[in-house]
Chains A and B, each alone.
Chain A
Amino acid sequence: MKLKLDKKNFEDFLKSLMEEYDLYAPVQPVEGVSVFKKIEQPSEVNLTQLVPQKPAKDIFFPQSEVMFCYEMAGKQSRMNSMEEIKRERILFGARPCDIEAISIIEKIFVGEEYTDVYFLEKRRKTTIIGLGCNHPLSTCFCSSAGGDPFLRAGSDLFFIDLGETYFVELLTEKGAALRKNRFFKEVDPNDLTLVKELEGKAFEKVGYSIPVEGIEKRLDLMTESSFWDRVHEKCIGCAVCTYLCPTCHCFDMVDEALNNKGQRVRNWDSCLFPIYSLETSGHNPRPTGRERTRQRLMHKFNYFPKNFGRVACVGCGRCILYCPVQFDIREALLYASAKRAKGLKRKFR
């Protein structure tokens, strides 16, 4: 079903959502930095930054999350699991790449044998309102990575900015629950043409130039390639590109306790930290940046596709934008792919 929303009613619309749901959307704690957060006031919502630093995965798989609390009484203990979400949620203003990434994380967290209840509970109780990207950034390459700037998959509702209004599509049953919202109006045919136009422009801008297709096979042959000897050199081994990546899902589990009370907490972790794989004996199976960078790229473009049939990258460009040394994953892919290796214009830097 297709509807629209006048922008002058935008804040009232958000307020109406907040009556029944906890609302999560991008906010800017300082100019130039954007994160997804639970909204207290509709005016906080800030959609100016196309890709917020912290991706929407933070809403389903928070950077730091208490799994369960416990109390010890003598030799006995009592445990209280913390997965339950009391109120239904709405995630508003996530872009197609972030939403696609949530379904990627879902592939690993919701399994046949074991299911991550913390993720699933949040996923189930969240209605996702996606927002199309009229002006993709030069670092965006979603179309090459299996998505596109207006991909509806994964969204329950989808918004497209038409200037004065938002064009609104209800896509799923969950989305249809909002059908009766008093601020939605009928669309007119002009809007549909405008949507087509915007889509066309954005698709053209994003292009398909990054060789993600076929990369899995290519990398099969490259496990011990000298490529890895050089490609990692400038990486300083921080966690920017993995923490901020919407598809990265690695975590650490730690206990925090005082006296007889405590909690088991999980925190995002990164395969680029040496300590991530360091064993108690002192042995580290990935001793240098070479193995760690290989893990990051191979996991995204070879191991994950082997297990789940899709690369674990949605082309959001965060790892390019925020890397302190400009490690550009697109260039790594170009270089690794046969194309670049043949007509090598510039050395990998």
Chain B
Amino acid sequence: MAMIQKKLREKTKELLAKKEVDLVIGFSDWTLPLRTTPIFIRTPEGAEHLVWNSFCENNLAAYLHKFSRLKVGVVVKGCDARSVVALNLEKRFPNHPPLLIGVVCQRLVDRKKVKKAVKGEILQAVEQGDLLLVKGENFEVSLKRDDFLYPSCQSCTHRTPHQAHILIGDPVEEVSLVETHPEVGEFERKSPEERWDFFEKETSRCLRCYACREACPMCYCGECFVDSSRPKWIEKSLSPSDLAFYHIVRAYHQTGRCSGCGACERACPMDIRLTYLTQKLNQEVKDLYGFETGIQPEAAPPLSTFDPEDQQGFIK
């Protein structure tokens, strides 16, 4: 990882020095342990602030909409690169398609899981090989990194951002650590009633803060359906039916567009499970149409095309 970080800084410095881009969006360390923060670099010297580690949890493609008038280089993991491909397909950046600085991802550490594994506030966390050293005021533990990965990262089979213009790190063999996304598996084993109960219990904590929406690169509608007053699709309070409506529609709007990065779930302050829904839909799209988001730059998303050969068995 240290090598990757070094190369990342060098490349960024070079891109900015040669003025190939106006801006590089990457990750930097900041005030909280187990986290990084998005950073916006405009000068070659600024590249020194870039970091690469297992806490680079945001999908930086979400910022590209804001900077569509600039030539932007963006640091992307496998999943993030797929989001950009999907956005290009939706013709989001006709003038300046972003330059992808791809990093081969080592899978990310789930900070919420780590927090639950220790008693007391974590003040420092560093990665050492396969280990994660976590320190607090009265404790110091070393954890096995791979036991603390995000669900979406455990099942990831696209860690190498092949679509990137610049690839940092060596391509890896793409294997999932688990059979399916652990929470999708769990969800599938439930009866329809249990599924609904689980869904309702999760969404009942929702604040409608829309961090999940804002963190997602694919949620870029000028007016989200929840904000529209004419027509009014949905009320604004916290009734279970409105919460359910928001979450179902959000998930459906992502079908065939979601790269499974999990940025929505990580953004949620209430620890609400979100990726089991989107990943389940991704799975269905893969099974029905053989399509995975952002793998082939030219393939049109299945829900925006019609082919008489499409499977229709689910229409009853």
Contact = CB atoms under 8 A, between A and B. Distances in A.
Interface in B8-45: 28, 30-32, 35-40
Contact of B116 (A31, A234, A239, A270): A31
B269 interface: yes
Given A238-B209, A238-B210, A275-B227, A349 B237 contact: no
Contact of B236 (A53, A236, A254): A254
Interface in B105-127: 112, 115-116, 121, 123
A171 to B, nearest CB: 29
Interface in A242-276: 243-244, 252, 254, 256, 265, 267, 270, 273, 275
Contacts of A32: 112, 115-116, 271
B211 interface: yes
Given A30-B271, A32-B112, A326-B37, A239 B209 contact: yes
Given A53-B269, A238-B211, A347-B46, A328 B30 contact: yes
A98 B121 CA distance: 20
A82 interface: no
B81 interface: no
Interface stretch (A154-162, A294-302, A317-325): A317-325
A237 B38 contact: no
A137 B123 CA distance: 9
Contact of B36 (A30, A326, A327): A326
B270 A53 contact: yes
Nearest to A252: B236
A236 B49 contact: no
Contacts of B123: 138
Contacts of A135: 121, 137
Interface string A24-46: 00000111110100000000000
Contacts, number: 116
A230 B123 CA distance: 28
B146 interface: no
A322 B269 contact: yes
B37 A138 contact: no
Contacts of B49: 346-347, 349
A320 B38 contact: no
Contact of A331 (B31, B205, B207, B215): B31
A76 to B, nearest CB: 25
Contacts of B115: 32
Interface in A64-79: 64
A240 interface: yes
Contacts of A275: 227
Contacts of B30: 326, 328, 331, 349
A239 B206 CA distance: 12
A349 B62 CA distance: 17
A256 B235 contact: yes
Interface string B171-213: 0000000000000000000000000000000001101111101
Interface in B201-244: 204-205, 207-211, 213-215, 227, 235-238
A33 B31 CA distance: 21
Nearest to B237: A64
Contact of A324 (B40, B215, B236): B215
Interface in A125-165: 135, 137-139
Contacts of B112: 32
A277 interface: no
Contacts of A292: none
A59 B174 CA distance: 50
Given A32-B112, A346-B49, A347-B49, A239 B207 contact: yes
Contacts of B271: 30, 32-33
Given A237-B214, A326-B37, A347-B46, A265 B237 contact: yes
Q: Which of B116, B121, B215, B237 has the most CB of A within 10 A?
A: B237
A220 interface: no
Contacts of B268: 324
Nearest to A137: B121
Given A326-B32, A347-B46, A138 B227 contact: no
A240 B121 contact: no
B266 interface: yes
A239 B226 CA distance: 14
B209 A240 contact: yes
A32 to B, nearest CB: 6
Contacts of B38: 233-234, 325
A330 B31 CA distance: 10
B238 A63 contact: yes
Contacts of B28: 349
Contacts of A236: 62-63, 211, 214-215, 267
Contacts of B37: 234, 325-328, 349
A253 B58 CA distance: 33
Contacts of B58: 324-325
A256 B235 CA distance: 7
Nearest to A257: B235
Contacts of B207: 54, 63, 239-240, 243-244
Q: Which of A270, A321, A326 has the most CB of B within 10 A?
A: A326
A313 B35 CA distance: 24
A57 to B, nearest CB: 13
5 contacts: A267-B236, A267-B237, A325-B38, A325-B58, A326-B30
Question: What are the 8 closest A-B residue pairs judged by CB atoms, nearest first?
Answer: A324-B267, A238-B211, A322-B269, A64-B237, A326-B37, A236-B214, A239-B209, A234-B38
Given A31-B116, A236-B62, 20 more contacts: A32-B116, A33-B271, A54-B207, A138-B121, A233-B40, A236-B214, A239-B211, A240-B207, A254-B237, A265-B235, A270-B209, A275-B227, A322-B269, A324-B215, A324-B269, A326-B37, A328-B30, A328-B37, A349-B30, A349-B39
